[in-house]
Amino acid sequence: MNWYTRYEGLNNSDKGEFNRVVNLLLAVTFVNKKHPDQRRDYYFIERHEEMFHQYLALAGWELRHDAVHGVYQAVNSQDFNRLRLKLEESIILLLIRLIYEEKRKELHLSEHVSFRVRELQEKYAALKISKRPINKKSLREGLALFKRFHLLEVLDGDVTDPECRLLIYPAILLAVRVEDVRQVYERLSAYGEDGEEGEAE
């Protein structure tokens, strides 16, 4: 059965939901089951997964599903719509991935992974990526960007406060794919060697 036949079989309410969730996927890339605002969307995709697969494929998109961690991801098969990150944004993202990897080993699968901004700054300093700490502007902009893509949630008000808590969503595993934590360290070391300017994908 093709996607259009499936779509025509939906009631008007579900047709509206399908349109909304497709646009959400294309706008923010990830849908997390653990995100309180996305849980309903996650289950809607799960119920109509084949229709989403077929529809997105027409436009050159692939729907990926990590059932273990409860994440859907829209990926452009032609490598269009790739987000180019500034160097410090790339470093912050890798550090968050590193923190997630280290902390989730201490937790059960059902538990949320959270950390404080202080831990991010300490790890940045310990790895000697730069002679300077992450500046507040880069930190604020980077975390706002990753929040927009539902990679994390800010639990307290000011992200420049060292005690500000952040929640990491499992989508981070798909955003930064690595076989093990050593690969994250290798990437971070490479950024340190390349200097402090530039961009990264």
Task: List helix spans (H) across the chain.
Answer: 3-8, 12-28, 39-47, 49-58, 87-104, 117-126, 136-148, 172-175, 181-194
Length, in residues, of the chain: 201
Answer yes or no: are the C-beta atoms of 4 and 46 closer than 8 Å. Answer: no
In contact, 125 and 7? CB cutoff 8 Å? no
CB 63 within 8 A of CB 52: yes
Q: pLDDT in tens for each of the 201 residues of the chain?
A: 899 899 999 999 999 999 999 999 999 999 999 999 999 999 999 999 999 999 999 999 999 999 999 999 999 988 777 788 888 898 899 999 999 988 888 876 557 899 999 999 999 888 887 778 888 999 999 999 999 999 999 998 899 999 999 999 999 999 988 766 677 777 777 766 554 444 443
User: CA 171 → CA 24, 30, 100, 153, 176, distances in Å?
Assistant: 15, 6, 11, 12, 9
Interacting residues of 185 by C-beta distance below 8 A, sequence separation 6+:
98, 127
